[in-house]
Structures are given as C-alpha cells and as structure tokens.
Amino acid sequence: MGLIKKKIHVELRTVIDDDGEKELSIIKQNGEYVTKGKLEVVTFTDKSDVGEVNNFITIQAKKVNIKRTGNISMNQQFIEGKKTECLYRHPYGSFHLEINTLSITHEKLRNNKDGRVIIEYDMKINGEQSRYHHLTLTYGGEWK
C-alpha cells in the first residue's frame, strides 16, 4: 500500500460534561489527509479567537495523537485504557492536563465513506476535578 494524500473537510466536535453542565465546541475546516498502511494523518489550521492554530492528528488503532502549534501548543496523546499527561500553552498561560482515555472508536476513511474517530476520556486541568469529554473527529469528502 502506497502513500495516499488528498484535500478533505474536517469537523472536530467536543462535548464536555461538567457535572451535568454540557459545553459544546465545533471546529469545521478544510484540511489534508495522508495515509500509509494503517496510519492516518489529518492536518488543518483553525483560525480561533487567539489566532491561527495548526492541528496535526495522527490516528492508529487504539491510539490518537493531537499536536497543536501556533498560538496554542500542546501534544495530547490518547491511548485506550491508559493515562497520559501534557502541557497546554496558550497566550493566557499554561495548564497541565491529565487524560484518562476510556475508549477509542475508529473508522478509516474509505472512497465512499468519511473517516471517523470517537474518543471518550476524562481530563483534569491542573489537578482539578475530572471532567468527561466526548470528542468526535469526522474527516473526508471534498474541501468546502
């Protein structure tokens, strides 16, 4: 299997449940997709309220890595059934994140079907109370 590269549309949807209070975040952008064998990489630039943030998402079975650079920087690892840590930096300061990945569901991008990753995890920010997160990354189709 060779290298496949194409332009795609990306939707990153995160629901945070803080003791019943739900917070929804949706990012929709054009991006690029590269795959080789079992590895998939999705990249896109998000123009947020703090400026441009480059997103580099590596997807493998039971393991997802989200690296952000620019005005926000972090390297967040999700490994099913494991706890990981990272430092989240943005213009207003830095936070220590503890991530406990509960589950990762992955459907690889196909010619006629979008790719999808669903990650359920608990996260503590600076050792505070843990909050449940449900992240859905959908990627495929054409640039919009």
The residues with which 83 forms a beta bridge, in sequence order, are: 100
Q: What is the CA radius of gyration of the chain?
A: 15
Q: Any idea where the domains of the chain sit in the sequence?
A: 4-140
- For each successive 10 residues of the chain (144 residues), what is the average pLDDT? 86 93 94 94 90 95 95 96 96 94 95 94 94 97 73
The reported pLDDT for the residue numbered 112 is 83
Q: What is the mean pLDDT of the chain?
A: 93
- How far apart CA 114 and CA 127 sit, in angstroms, is 36
For residues 144 and 9, is the Cβ–Cβ distance under 8 A? Answer: yes
Four-point Cα dihedral 114, 115, 121, 126, nearest 10: -100
Four-point Cα dihedral 103, 109, 110, 112, nearest 10: 100
For 126, the token pair is: 């600076």
Task: Report the Cα 51 to chain-centroid distance in Å.
Answer: 18
The reported pLDDT for the residue numbered 69 is 96
Q: pTM value?
A: 0.92
Domain 4-140 CATH assignment equals 2.40.128.20 = yes
